[in-house]
Structure 1
């Protein structure tokens, strides 16, 4: 047991080191990360875009120094804990060290690495799904109701992190009904466990009710502007590519539920995957929403493969099974991770145009992946916002208004000006704008398609364009930073009206 734990620690160390190596130093943080980091200044039981768990880790990052190192640390930690849960699942199922090591390799060198480079709710979401499945596995194995309560805890905190986990429940319910585990519905502790999950999630549900259920508006916006571009066939195809280097282990896992006698009672995991994928496909979900389905399967697949390779000449194939995921990951890394500059990515794409389909949320293909374009230009933006702020009278209130949350959050994270805070009417910032002081000057940060209107300029005595984001690879390329000095009208009243209109939109 001690040896197994030492090996697990070794794999966890590899996981952490890899996550830091997968992002070139020339990239900034991702636009979504800035929103989550800014939540630390506005702690609440909910937000327009996400529940509160991510903000709690933002608070820890803030206490630890508010640096990029810690921003990258926590998603890597969630990925490492997911590996540890699968490791322990194999231990409970009677698997050996080879099976545990194989599963760890399959998870480390997979699409989980892509998600774990970003401080978003997704990494914790996968951990929560895996914890729920792990708890169910332990209940099926032992029959002890305490595991149902642990399942409830996982579900409760999963809801507090991302509502996506509701699809796990929707897939599990019919899966339980059509298998021998349907007897679980006669156990009163199951309903008590769901009650516990509801109790844990209740503060966020109350927040949603008090704020007019903005999650419904957020889902509608996703459906209209992002999910509408999702092709159902592409969603199913991408499921294979998430673990293409270790897909053979997943396939063996699905087979093992029917061919390996000791796994027959765990068929609920097979059917849960089928039902959940069907639901996701129907709703045209983003492909990565389903990744939480897979880690638990590697416990079963690794054990079954270990059994198949335990005799005769087949035992010599064991190292090959470990090498394949690593080798294919290394081959694919230049095309799937920001390990080199944008120019390097373009050169890779020119050599492999059929393998790199950089489709963005707008449904169009671009030169580099959207996630990577969302990690460029932010420090340049903050520097120019600081420059604009330095030109405004220091004894007057100057407000920075941005077009989107990425711009506002990046300025707030990278600014070197004490007390400077950027805002926007986008996302949660609509609830964070301080109008208690009279606004004398504005710094407008605008996307190039919007620009600065003559009407806005007419409200002020002086106007100066400070600059633009010049990085051609940044999604924000061309974004304008404009300084407006000496207001000639009541800017507070204009903003108050716009804020109320935006809040009304969120309530509709």
Structure 2
């Protein structure tokens, strides 16, 4: 059998009326991605948010000030199974990224894409910055990324088949997504508006849609109830993270859109967006394109981050692989397409994964512009050692009465992770839900605080003094912050604590 005949056989439609899934090649691509993510999972160190989730996993709740409950639950489960390490926290994110690659190929299949388009979608999704970023660290985005791609696949399948029972599956997936990140509500709203505007509206006239809504609310119910009972702190958090409308913010959001997938693959997702409007056979699926455009407008107005659209951009990337395969008929065009995927994979890996030494992202390096994600995984052990030096300089009596205080959850999380190995005392922080993890007892009258402004502490204690200034060999968020020692709180800790609590980002 010739190569062309083999491909033709692989692209025959199955009993469902769509091309057969090229499961073998797609799973190979997904498996290679998974192997890469797991091979690099333990390098550098914890990302700043992972230090928080690690501690939050010991304080499980139905909700937190800054997030739903799923990320801390995953942290606790992975540590229980794989041990307390950086690698342990990143197993599930890697597996979720692998699943998103498979689902991207399923999106292409539903749209009539054959084997080549499915494999290209798997390759392009694996090579995108969004997928690599979601699969590398434990973060709500790790779940959110897969949820968005899966919801879009289910909606496309629902529209194609007319099987409205799929609304129940959509509701269940959205419910899980709401346990990780409330942003999926934006996808639901924009997709529904897209269906109203572009059709087919008949899929909305079904009791299964209501059933899906109810199922989603039931699954997400614990987190929603927690938010309601605690005064909806997520809205406060959202307002802290939103920049509001402004020309600079709008430009930054729009410029960031190509970066979410990668510059070399931007033509593919743009091709997918355009094809949804131009291809007559894809008219029933135009709600995907409309949803993206609505999302861009909404996020631009409220000052949202560019990364908020990455899930839908991943779907458009997969969609664009169908016209890309049609375009790449000759050897030259196929080589160009392959080069784009490869170059995007390399640049995305350099930006997101610890494939290079951390020193490669120093201030004098040409890669310094990519340093945020990389250097956010460094310096935490060094921070703890510098705080330990201050603690050890205290008289023995002071050490017996001391606690540690981190201004933000990453500082506190780092001290919690590395402090026991240096015989450091208990750690506290007033940042977001870390403030609810415990308050020092009143017999603890000495505080070693890192990152807290001494002007904030002086009104609360008998005396405070700066003992050290943090310094790191590589750029770090805590560079230049002070380590302050305070004695004798002027009120009981439960009365002082509200003055140390704060909600926001850093």
TM range (shorter): 0.7 to 0.9
Instruction: Check the 8 A contact 1:468/1:478 in 2, yes or no.
Output: yes
What TM-score comes out, normalization by structure 1 length?
Answer: 0.84
1:414 paired to 2:431 = no
1:381 to 380, 383, 390: 383
Q: Superposition pairs for residues 116-155 of structure 1, below 5 Å?
A: 116-155=135-174
Uncovered stretches (5+) of structure 1, i.e. residues with no partner? 359-367
Q: CA deviation at 1:70?
A: 1.8
2:104 to 82, 86, 98: 86
Counterpart Cα distance in 1 of 2:472 and 2:274: 53
Q: Superposition pairs for residues 339-488 of structure 1, below 5 Å?
A: 339-341=355-357, 343-346=359-362, 350=366, 358=369, 369-386=371-388, 392=396, 396-415=400-419, 416=421, 420-436=425-441, 438-446=443-451, 450=454, 458-459=462-463, 465=467, 468-482=470-484
State the SS of the aligned residue for 2:356: coil
Map of 2:5 onto structure 1:
none
Superposed CA offset, 1:316-336 (max 9, x none):
633432232212442565566
The RMSD of aligned alpha carbons is: 3.3
Instruction: Check the 8 A contact 2:352/2:374 in 1, yes or no.
Output: no
Superposed CA offset, 1:398-437 (max 9, x none):
3211111110011112232579531111111111123456
What TM-score comes out, normalization by structure 2 length?
Answer: 0.84
Uncovered stretches (5+) of structure 2, i.e. residues with no partner? 1-9, 11-19
Instruction: Check the 8 A contact 1:382/1:414 in 2, yes or no.
Output: yes
Q: CA deviation at 1:136?
A: 0.6
Q: CA deviation at 1:61?
A: 2.0
Counterpart Cα distance in 2 of 1:40 and 1:330: 34
2:336 to 315, 320, 341: 320
1:28 paired to 2:45 = yes
1:54 paired to 2:71 = yes
State the SS of the aligned residue for 1:399: strand
2:122 to 104, 107, 122: 104
Counterpart Cα distance in 1 of 2:499 and 2:460: 18
Q: CA deviation at 1:72?
A: 2.6
Q: CA deviation at 1:30?
A: 1.8
Instruction: Check the 8 A contact 1:54/1:121 in 2, yes or no.
Output: yes
Map of 2:55 onto structure 1:
38
Counterpart Cα distance in 2 of 1:417 and 1:346: 28
Map of 2:213 onto structure 1:
194
Residue-pair matches, total: 480
Q: CA deviation at 1:369?
A: 3.5
Q: CA deviation at 1:79?
A: 1.5
Instruction: Check the 8 A contact 1:105/1:326 in 2, yes or no.
Output: no
State the SS of the aligned residue for 1:231: helix
Map of 2:196 onto structure 1:
177
State the SS of the aligned residue for 1:400: strand
Instruction: Check the 8 A contact 1:156/1:200 in 2, yes or no.
Output: yes
